[in-house]
Chain A
Amino acid sequence: AQKVTQAQTEISVVEKEDVTLDCVYETRDTTYYLFWYKQPPSGELVFLIRRNSFDEQNEISGRYSWNFQKSTSSFNFTITASQVVDSAVYFCALSGTLQGAQKLVFGQGTRLTINP
């Protein structure tokens, strides 16, 4: 079975602080894909990044960076110099290739609040 765990239910920081959102996954597939989505109060899920299981290179996009470690089955997301506009619920998700390839398994989400 596939599973995604986001242990942090809520995080609250002051603007300009760095914050890391944790994501741990379980899968038996050797090829799989990991995603992060952002859901602001408006409701729409915004795609942030996709990683396949063979690409362990970390990625940086502006203030956002992602650390993928297969050895610990983790795909953590760091926001540097956080801003109020980063306030949202963030979901980590997993898609396999053998079992339920059309399904996207979401974690429970982390509600991030950036205070001015």
Chain B
Amino acid sequence: DTEVTQTPKHLVMGMTNKKSLKCEQHMGHRAMYWYKQKAKKPPELMFVYSYEKLSINESVPSRFSPECPNSSLLNLHLHALQPEDSALYLCASSQGRVGTSRSFGPGTRLTVL
């Protein structure tokens, strides 16, 4: 299995809703990432988990809460989002060693009303 899966593919939520994005990989990768991508922009790093521990938080607002239940799963919990949070959210994984490539999932396209 050489892919990263993400669910759901699309999500529409109101500003008072609570929702979660899910990401899964079975490649034995030890690092997992969340990226946010706005239209016509490159992906922006949000969080990095290394060996199931949060190693990087790029000053992301607390309305985004990551969770890594085990080495294969990565969640992003969403609460009280703003319309400007609408974007494509990409999950990625890598072996975790310096210079290794990331494998990206297909993304969740999030719309906040």
Contacts and interface: CB of A to CB of B under 8 A. Distances in A.
Interface of A: 31-33, 35, 37, 42-47, 50, 52, 91, 95, 97, 101-104, 106-109, 111
Nearest to B108: A43
Interface of B: 31, 40-43, 45, 48, 50, 55-56, 88, 90, 92, 98-107, 109
Contact of A50 (B41, B92, B99): B99
B73 to A, nearest CB: 19
Contacts of A45: 43, 90, 92, 102, 104
Contacts of B106: 42-44
B101 A97 contact: no
A99 to B, nearest CB: 12
Contacts, number: 57
A102 B48 contact: yes
A35 B88 contact: no
A85 B22 CA distance: 29
Contact of B56 (A50, A97, A103, A111): A103
B45 A108 contact: no
Nearest to B55: A102
